[in-house]
Amino acid sequence: MKITKLEQMFDALRSAKKKILVAAYANDEHSISAVSMAIDQGLVEGTLVGDQEEIRKVCESHQISMNKFTIVHEPDEMKAAYKAVELINAGQGNLLMKGLVSTDKYMRAILDKEKGLMNKGSILSHVTVIENPNYHKLLIVGDVAILPAPEMPEKIAITNYLINTAHALGIERPKVALITASEQVSYKIPSSVDASLIAKMGDRGQIKGADIDGPLALDVAIDPESATIKKMTGPVAGDADCLVFPNIEAGNVFYKMNTKLANAELGAIVVGARVPAVLSSRGDSTKTKLYSIALAALTAK
């Protein structure tokens, strides 16, 4: 099933075997409500790791049944994060979600060399799937939140993460655009050189499962008219599924422009660990929380 709208992830998950979401230090209404809604939608099963008494109070005050969750009592914030990771490593969960635990402690538990979720040599990154009403299909983009200035190994990893996410969404051969300021290769723009090398790796099968082109300016990547005017040909030009950004500044600006000026909806996950992780914030809309959980469940093994 090819998913062309974010809501279609819900239908795909309802008909599949349920994955288990483990929420780290889920003592707050924000986290508990998000997991509760995901369970009610039939997207996942849910385990809450946190202070059982605090969880009970939140559930009672918001008329949420505690019976829908598996609850693991751990009142200490850091220990709760590690306990959530431990459950994942023990095979008792397929995806991770940040609860009330601070982001630095959440990431510390994931990145811990002995007890965490990283395989040797793995690179942690961030994937966002955007549904923009002005584009004819979903856009899968990265990295907008974790890697400030990715070098070649990181850019290759980002490219593969976007391809894998596209495959999970049912896109058999995604079209990947390596974005820079221009479609011209110039030694004065290092990202254009990186883009051309990665595109050539795609041509030679060193990166598989996608059509890859770059460097491409953003207009050439997503606008057929611009691609025609600039005489850019090939399957990616004007019709990209995936956008690999040269740095976090470009990616983050694109991400926020979509949500603030284009009324786009999105789901986002942290990738590169043994399981996908949700890093939602209090400011996220209900839809964003559900889409992010759904995306994590859809990409989880």
Residue 168, pLDDT > 70, answer yes
Whether residue 219 sits in one domain with residue 171: yes
Dist. CA 293–CA 195, nearest whole Å: 31
Which pTM was predicted?
Answer: 0.94
Whether residue 255 sits in one domain with residue 160: yes
Whether residue 134 sits in one domain with residue 74: no
The percentage of the chain sitting over the pLDDT mark of 70, rounded to a whole number, equals 99
Whether residue 137 sits in one domain with residue 33: no
Q: What are phi and psi of 143, to 5 degrees?
A: -105, 135
Residue 119, pLDDT > 90, answer yes
Q: Which of 213, 215, 235 is nearest to 224 (CA)?
A: 235
Query: In which band, very low, low, confident or very high, does the pLDDT at 301 lie, cut at 50, 70 and 90?
Result: confident
Residue 218, pLDDT > 70, answer yes
pLDDT digits (tens, 9 = 90+) for 67-76: 999 999 999 9
Strands in 211-216's sheet, in edge-to-edge order, are: 69-73, 44-50, 19-24, 95-98, 277-278, 265-271, 125-131, 139-142, 242-244, 175-179, 211-216
Is 69 part of a structural domain of the chain? Answer: yes
Dist. CA 127–CA 255, nearest whole Å: 11
Residue 283, pLDDT > 80, answer no
Report the chain's mean pLDDT, rounded to a whole number: 95
- Chain length of the chain: 301
Domain with residue 50: its CATH number is: 3.40.50.10950
Mean pLDDT of 17-42: 94
Q: Which of 54, 68, 145 is nearest to 101 (CA)?
A: 54
Residue 78, pLDDT > 90, answer yes
Residue 51, pLDDT > 80, answer yes
| Residue range(s) defining the domain that contains residue 69 | 8-118+273-299
Whether residue 103 sits in one domain with residue 177: no
Is 39 part of a structural domain of the chain? Answer: yes
Residue 217, pLDDT > 80, answer yes
pLDDT digits (tens, 9 = 90+) for 237-276: 999 999 999 999 999 999 999 999 999 999 999 999 999 9
Is 267 part of a structural domain of the chain? Answer: no
The predicted structure's pLDDT at residue 1:
79
Whether residue 246 sits in one domain with residue 152: yes
Dist. CA 129–CA 181, nearest whole Å: 22
Mean pLDDT of 48-69: 96
Whether residue 63 sits in one domain with residue 140: no
Whether residue 190 sits in one domain with residue 113: no
The predicted structure's pLDDT at residue 282:
67
Is 266 part of a structural domain of the chain? Answer: no
Is 88 part of a structural domain of the chain? Answer: yes
Is 153 part of a structural domain of the chain? Answer: yes
Whether residue 257 sits in one domain with residue 147: yes
Is 114 part of a structural domain of the chain? Answer: yes
The predicted structure's pLDDT at residue 286:
81
Structural domain total, the chain: 2
> In sequence order, what DSSP letters do the residues of the chain get, joined into one string?
----STTHHHHHHHTSPPEEEEEET--SHHHHHHHHHHHHTTSEEEEEEE-HHHHHHHHHHTT--GGGEEEEE--SHHHHHHHHHHHHHTTS-SEEEE-SS-HHHHHHHHH-TTTSSPPTT---EEEEEEE-TTSSS-EEEE-SSS-SS--HHHHHHHHHHHHHHHHHTT-SS-EEEEE-S-SS--TTSHHHHHHHHHHHHHHTTSS-SSEEEEEE-HHHHH-HHHHHHTT--SSSTT--SEEE-SSHHHHHHHHHHHHHHS--EEEEEEESSSS-EE---TTS-HHHHHHHHHHHHHH--
pLDDT digits (tens, 9 = 90+) for 172-206: 999 999 999 999 999 999 999 999 999 999 999 99
Whether residue 247 sits in one domain with residue 176: yes
The predicted structure's pLDDT at residue 91:
96
Is 148 part of a structural domain of the chain? Answer: yes
Q: In the beta sheet, which residues pair with residue 125?
A: 271
Q: Which two tokens stand for residue 84?
A: 């959530």
Whether residue 132 sits in one domain with residue 107: no
Query: In which band, very low, low, confident or very high, does the pLDDT at 280 lie, cut at 50, 70 and 90?
Result: confident
Whether residue 229 sits in one domain with residue 130: yes
